[in-house]
Amino acid sequence: MTLITVEGTALPEQMYAVVLRKPFHLEYTKIPVWPIESYEDPKIVLLKVNVCGVCGSDFRYYQGENPWAQHTTGKHIANPPNIVLGHEYVGTVYAVLAEDNREWLGKRVVPICSQICGRCQMCQTNRAHLCENTIHIGHGQGWGTRAYYPGAYAEYAPAWIQGCYEIPSHVSSEEAAMMDVLAVSTHAFDRADHKVDLPLLILGAGAIGNGIGQAARNQGVAEENIILIDNSPISIQVASETGFQNMIDSSDKDRGALTQLVRAVTNNRNVFSVFDTIGTDFSFTLGMNLLDKGGTFVNLAVHDQNLIDFNQMQLSSERNLTTSSNFSLSAYNRTWNWLCRGRYNLTPWFSKISLAEVPKFFTEKIKNKKQREYFKLVITG
């Protein structure tokens, strides 16, 4: 395949990237630019990365977990060495492989970070977001055996042109890079089939929790019916700055105290939907105890662990317990429409770091898990 670049300029042979050599070992180094001609797919393009978000799942890959596999396949799949992390990215189309895609050169885009097979049972039955044959940017899924696995913690990253969305000028690159987070949040909200005139509870007010709250707003849930719980000062601050009225600080509070605080907001009613972005025994039991009859508990943080405090009677009265994995294309498109129409408040989210700072930051973050002075990190160069 012939490489077509912006103004016919040659690609550099190497680029800076952050490579996950093995668990707990990230390295900022030079590696070969992604050889997209060898990928044998004319729909693949090469982006010059403008911005890449640091996802919570990236910290799990760093520690040896594989959250995509756990959520999507229900099992652990070992990560290969030399993964370039990063799947929440925006870039400028720098090279294409097909003449039909030349028109994309120079455009600022946000890509869907994965490519489904289109042939499996999941893809054929409107469950493509659960396709186990997915090829994914930012971890090793679907790439076979390679020297380096493509991701966007790098100067360049590949993408599939059919999943690229040109970004309008009024949307910043940082905002557009949040599309993966926001689409995951919208899909999670959809999983609950929430009734908009009833209260909902979000356990964990990080980027996903905040995103679920904003998706709920965009779907018509009144502000007084959205309740968030977190113990992080920065998450509490950002929740306030993004307009949430019912932000409960869980610091030094047991389940009984938190239950009373939630019911004080709901006039002593239970909530119709619970979204758990934490995935601990504490959060599960708290959420299930507050879940109303016929309501839905959505777990967004699937871990390989047994629940200690669970009794089947907690599912009585048609209570539903489910998980949320990835996002559907319809959720993504709805989210994109909202973002382009200014329906999200993301300005308070961002803290910026450079690509070179990433390894040290990950090391310090794991050493000091309770000391978080940022809400959402974005890599900007």
> Which residue spans within the chain are E strands per DSSP?
4-5, 14-22, 25-32, 44-53, 83-84, 88-96, 108-111, 114-115, 135-136, 156-160, 164-166, 200-203, 226-230, 246-249, 271-276, 291-299, 320-323, 350-353, 376-379
pLDDT confidence of residue 304: 73
Name the residue range of residue 272's domain. 186-323
User: What's the predicted TM-score (pTM) here?
Assistant: 0.94
pLDDT confidence of residue 159: 98
pLDDT confidence of residue 234: 96
Pair (121, 249) in one structural domain: no
Pair (62, 92) in one structural domain: yes
Is 330 part of a structural domain of the chain?
no
Q: Tell me the per-residue pLDDT of 168-217, one tens digit each, with 9 for 90 and over.
A: 999 999 999 999 999 999 999 999 999 999 999 999 999 999 999 999 99
Q: Say if residue 365's pLDDT is above 90.
A: no
Structure tokens belonging to residue 65: 């977990």
pLDDT confidence of residue 72: 86
Is 308 part of a structural domain of the chain?
yes
Q: Tell me the per-residue pLDDT of 215-239, one tens digit each, with 9 for 90 and over.
A: 999 999 999 999 999 999 999 999 9
Kindly indicate the confidence band of residue 371, based on its pLDDT and cuts at 50, 70 and 90: low
CATH number at residue 216: 3.40.50.720
Pair (118, 41) in one structural domain: yes
Is 328 part of a structural domain of the chain?
no
Is 329 part of a structural domain of the chain?
no
Pair (246, 293) in one structural domain: yes
Q: Give the mean model confidence (pLDDT) for residues 26-38.
A: 97
Pair (157, 258) in one structural domain: no
Pair (81, 203) in one structural domain: no
Q: Say if residue 257's pLDDT is above 80.
A: yes
Is 334 part of a structural domain of the chain?
no
Pair (16, 162) in one structural domain: yes
pLDDT confidence of residue 370: 64
The domain total for the chain is 2
Is 336 part of a structural domain of the chain?
no
Q: Say if residue 305's pLDDT is above 80.
A: no
Q: Say if residue 43's pLDDT is above 70.
A: yes
